[in-house]
Amino acid sequence: RFARTGLAGEAVVVNDLGLVAYRGRVRPVDAVGLGTIEIARMRKARQLTPEALDAIARDKGAVAAMVNDAYIIHVAGAVPRSWIPIAQLGIPSDYVIADRAVTIYAVDAGWTERLRADLLAFAPTLPARTTIVYLPSAS
């Protein structure tokens, strides 16, 4: 729901196409590679690095990432250092997802304050038992 309201029309890095691609009204950049051929090719060649993931995301015009950090570390070795952490959502354990936490990053530094403000406004509508922790920007 946040993607649909706060990021509609924008390119967003995700690692689970699911509802974000189906109903999010965003242009997904798929870190798995199913929806982004450049990433699929790099993964197949075992050449996907944080820098390569960041370069592809920026080439696709991504302004934000909504990802499971553990999964990004698994496929690329680390989360790109240039991505600015905004918040982490804690998902209740009865949902079926790759990990119980989704981190939202600004890929484009110009989106940092907007993402924080949009998340603050969106937070009261989160489902029961979902938590949100606002993260300090990495230096």
- Structure-model confidence comparison of residues 17 and 57, the more confident one: 57
Query: 18 pLDDT exceeds 90?
Result: no
Q: Indicate the average pLDDT of the chain.
A: 91
- pLDDT, mean of residues 123-130: 90
Cα 127 from Cα 53, distance rounded (Å): 31
pLDDT (0 to 100) of residue 100: 81
Phi, psi for residue 52 in degrees, rounded to 5: -65, -40
Phi, psi for residue 85 in degrees, rounded to 5: -70, 135
Quickly state the pLDDT bin for 123 (edges 50, 70, 90): very high
Tell me which H or E stretch contains 50. Answer: helix 50-59
- pLDDT, mean of residues 57-69: 96
Q: CB–CB of 44/87 below 8 Å?
A: no
pLDDT (0 to 100) of residue 81: 96
- pLDDT, mean of residues 54-67: 97
Cα 110 from Cα 102, distance rounded (Å): 21
Q: CB–CB of 76/65 below 8 Å?
A: no
- pLDDT, mean of residues 66-75: 94
Q: CB neighbours of 19 closer than 8 A, spacing ≥ 6? A: none
